[in-house]
Amino acid sequence: MNILVCIKPVPDPDKYGDLRIDPETKRLVREGVPTVINPEDKNALEEALRLKEKLGGSVSVLSMAPEFSRDKLVESLAMGADEAYLLSDRAFGGADTYVTSYVLAEGARRILAAKDLPRFDLILMGNASADGATSHVPTQIAEWLDLPHICNVREIRTGSEAGEAGAEDCSTLQVIRKTETEDMLFAVDLPAVIAVSREINKPRLINAMGIIKARKKPLTIWSNEDLDLPREVIGLAGSPTQPGALFSPDMRRGAESLGSEMDAAADKILEIVQKAGV
């Protein structure tokens, strides 16, 4: 089974206080802020590695991020991925989810062309990113690639786990999708895109051997010269969602003396509360 996992480097939650927005470009300034692999993407990578161990095949990792995020691709290789691809170009900057999904889909096509493969059997990623949390990208990638897709998956079952004959025939997977009220069981024909929640597994820890092996695994960095996408459809220029005005809210609070008489002050407080409609 050939599996592609899309990951996103996101700001370290412990460093959110260091984040700022450039007032000119209205973009998040990521330089100098430590990043981590988006937690749910790490669950997706773990699930891919488990499927590979069970069924054979390969696991490729794909990310669109600044080049200083290269270390997160190396971390994925150390976890057990076979190869990694980083799409990095200033022209990609400022992309909304629509354009991000488009570039990632084109990156997936570029990988298939480079490897002379007809398809990926499965594309996995986290259900949402820790910074944006829109949950748009998995579905959008699937639509760009014309693939069936299902999100918020907490369990993936192969044929043997589902009690089916022909366990090694992985043309179909069973998945459990969680909703607000209940779990739903689906059969998904492959190839497909599946977005997982953090409940699906516990990602493995990286060991010394994994770090050593990662040094010998291929890590490819492609710019837009390699993808050859029109400038008007990528980055901020191609994004239907545009940043609006930036302003800082007035956090000052007013104060009013209610006098020194307790009964009069209590009546005043009651009057203020009633006027507020509380």
Run of H or E including 24: none
Long-range contacts of 246-253 (CB under 8 A, 24+ apart): 246/21, 246/23, 246/26
**CATH no. of 2-150+190-233:** 3.40.50.620
Give pLDDT, residue 253: 78
Q: How many CB atoms lie within 10 A of CB 266?
A: 11
What's the Rg (C-alpha) of the chain? 24
Give pLDDT, residue 217: 97
Task: Give residue-wise pLDDT tens across range 188-222.
Answer: 999 999 999 999 999 999 999 999 999 999 999 99
Answer for the pair 234, 88: CB distance below 8 angstroms, yes or no: no
Give pLDDT, residue 12: 86
Per DSSP bridges, beta strands 58-64 and 83-87 are parallel
Which residues of the chain, if any, have pLDDT below 50? 166-167
The span from the CA of 21 to the CA of 247, in Å, is 11
Answer for the pair 2, 29: CB distance below 8 angstroms, yes or no: no
The span from the CA of 198 to the CA of 180, in Å, is 15
Give pLDDT, residue 166: 47
